[in-house]
Chains A and B, each alone.
Chain A
Amino acid sequence: MSKNQKIITALSLMAAAIIIMTFASMPSAGSKELTISDVMANAEKYDGDYIMTEGLLNKETVQWNADKIELQFEIYDENETKLPVVYKGVQPDNFTEDVIVIVEGFISKNGVFEAEKVMTKCPSKYEGEDMENYDSEMHKEIYKDAQE
């Protein structure tokens, strides 16, 4: 074997090691991305899974308890399926009617989503040509597209 081949072999082995490491650290860190309808229909099945889902905010349902630092709200998807969410934290910026809210956390047996993370989809008009017609109809459409 020439020196070149030896070096290449050694490097390939290292590359393989790094790639294996990449794969190995995969499953523990994942969150399942589901639709609200799916989460609500199969709450039992997803018990204990770390889930990510998104929907439009119903502003009227927002309740904020400052002493307990607890935020409650409902988001809904294009089938109008509602998902009640509890979050031990504060509301993010741009938390307004019909904005797309991304939540990550667990679904509890009584059908309430216990969120660990609540984000609003970057409010920015930046990068978003569909935001040009900023109204709820458009939002629902974007939302539907995103689901497909």
Chain B
Amino acid sequence: MAEPARMARAPGPLLRVENLTRYFDVSPPLLNRVFEGKGRLYVRAVDGVSFEIDAGETFSLVGESGCGKSTVARLVVGLYQPTRGTIDFEGVDLGSAKARAANPQMQARMQMIFQDPYASLNPRWRVGDIIAEPIRFRRILSGRAAIAERVGALLRQVGLGANDAERYPHEFSGGQRQRISIARALAGEPEFLVCDEPTSALDVSVQAQILNLMKDLQRRLGLTYLFISHNLAVVYHVSSKVGVMYLGRLVEWSETKTLFARPRHPYTRMLLDAIPDLAMSGRARTPVAGEVPSPLNPPSGCSFHPRCPWANERCKSERPEAQRVPGGGAVACHAVEEGRLPEGPAVAPPAIA
């Protein structure tokens, strides 16, 4: 995996993340530590995650709540700084606050779309000012008329009207607000969009509108997406590659079709198995026992071993590293590596039209 001889601006992935790690300090206050003999406490939100995203593709991260997928998104756009690891954007390392500040032209090329359409727009600003903020701040355009025209064009691009610029966010529905968020993200003319659960707060019919819009924009503007979601069906629909996270680690990634047809990691199989069956094939869901352990105190070895039906002594003691698998992708699992797992899809083959 390690390829140290990397050249700047070499043709290659748009984003390469290596050994990305972020711990959050949740220690009790100093006085309690001193007098009650409590130690420092860290949440290992992201623990050694590596992946690459090629230009023009959609890379999705899936996992249950607390798996660290949203933290990865925030690390990539620079809202958090990594504890360890590199974030390499077109050959430029953005893995520290200093590096980010030194490369505003790189930061300018990425934008983010958030989950909560009610919290992501400043309620006191007019929609036009919200969308114009990146344009004004980066001085992409100058002059009121030029900016107003661009804002109008952006609003039309996301399916709203140019005169919506005069209104305030509370006058819009959740789906429309998410469109405004997308317009704001596009205003800075980015190439790379980090989308953190962009549709999970929306109703199904509105979700379809937003997903279609995002696909259209990707095709038209050549955007690259890092897409964070807990919804496997949505992920299947939008992404070209999928990574599965569990307790801060990337346990498996692969091409979308491969991952869904032939999931390798036991956790991936479990997730796929848990999807509600709209086809009503009568397949019984096989719920996996247990729940996600606390990231404050993750299990030893492979953190999935307490819930894994194939776990053995090695899984309990030794942490599996991601291994490339034939046909693209990588899996971090001793059982897969040793060939202990029964082959074949855990899910009925894709037959749902």
Bound pair (A, B): no
Name B residues whose Cβ lies closer than 8 Å to a Cβ of A: none
